[in-house]
Structure 1
Amino acid sequence: MVWIGPASERETTVPDLVGLTVEAAWQVTTDHHVKMTSGDPDGPPLSQLTSTGVWLITGQQPPAGTRMRRFGSMAVVVEQIPDNLAGDREPRRPVPRLDGLGAELTPATDGDPIH
C-alpha cells in the first residue's frame, strides 16, 4: 500500500532504493522525507522481517523519480541474502568503466615495450 502523504506537505522525489540494503534504504528514505513499508500488506513489518541477516530491496512502488508528498509512504519488496555470499551488497555507482578503468589505451606494436 502506498500513501501519498498529507495534502499540506511539499513534494519530494522518490529515491531509487533497488539494490540497497534495508539499513541503507532507511537512511535514504529519511533524507528524502518519505517512509518505507513492506510491499506485503499481510506480512510482518519491515523492522521485524529484517531484524536478522542481510536484506536487499528488490522492488519499490512508486518508482524512483516519481514526485510525491513528503512523509508519504512507499512500498518495497525485500529479499534475504544468504550468509555465505561474499562481495558487494550494493550496486556500484557510478558503473565502472570497461576500458581499463580509465587507463590510456594505446595500440601495441611488435617493437613497443609494455607500458
Structure 2
Amino acid sequence: MWEHVGDPVSVPNVVGMPFHLADALAASRGVTLANPDPDGPPIGAIAWRRAAYITSQQPAAGGIVSRHSSVTVEIVDHGGADDMAVQGQPDAPPADAAHVHLERAKLIQLSPEGQRT
C-alpha cells in the first residue's frame, strides 16, 4: 500500500487567480497544480503563454494534504468564463448569521407634490 510521507500542508485557495500567480502560491505552500485529466498534458503546458484563470480546484481550499501533493485545477482563458460563474460558497453560514432579522419593506405613497399621504 502506498502512503504519503510528506509533512501536512494546507491547500491554498487559487480559484479566480491568474494561473501564473496561482502556480507560484501553490509552490510556496508546498503543493503542485495539476491537470484533472491524468492522461493529458501537464497543466503548466496548457496554461503556458496564455492569460488563463483558475475556475475550480480539488481538494478545496483549507484541506490538509501531504507536501508535494497535487491540486487539480480547471482553467479558462481570460474572458472565457461564464459571466454568471461564482466562486464556491462556504459550507457553513457566517457566525453572525443568527443575528440577521429580515423586515418587510415599508412602502411610502407620495402625493404629486412629494408629500406623504
TM-score bracket for the superposition, by shorter chain length: 0.5 to 0.7
Tell me how far 1:82 sits from its aligned partner.
4.3
8 Å Cα contact 1:6/1:69 also seen in 2: no
The alignment-based identity, stated in percent, is 28
Of structures 1 and 2, the one scoring higher in RCO (CA 8 A, sep 6+) is 1
Calculate the aligned-residue CA RMSD, in Å. 2.3
What TM-score comes out, normalization by structure 1 length?
0.62
Tell me, in whole angstroms, the C-alpha distance in 2 between the residues paired with 1:23 and 1:53.
Answer: 9
Could you report, residue by residue, the CA deviation over 1:4-39 in whole angstroms, capped at 9, with x for unpaired residues? x96322101000000011100111111110111012
Unaligned segments of structure 1, at least 5 residues? 84-90, 92-115
Match of 1:71 in 2: 68
2:37 aligned with 1:36, yes or no? no
Equivalent pairs counted in the alignment come to: 80
Runs of 4+ aligned residues of structure 1 deviating over 2 Å after TM superposition are 5-8, 40-44
Higher Rg: 2
2:19 aligned with 1:22, yes or no? yes
Higher normalized helix content (fraction of residues): 2
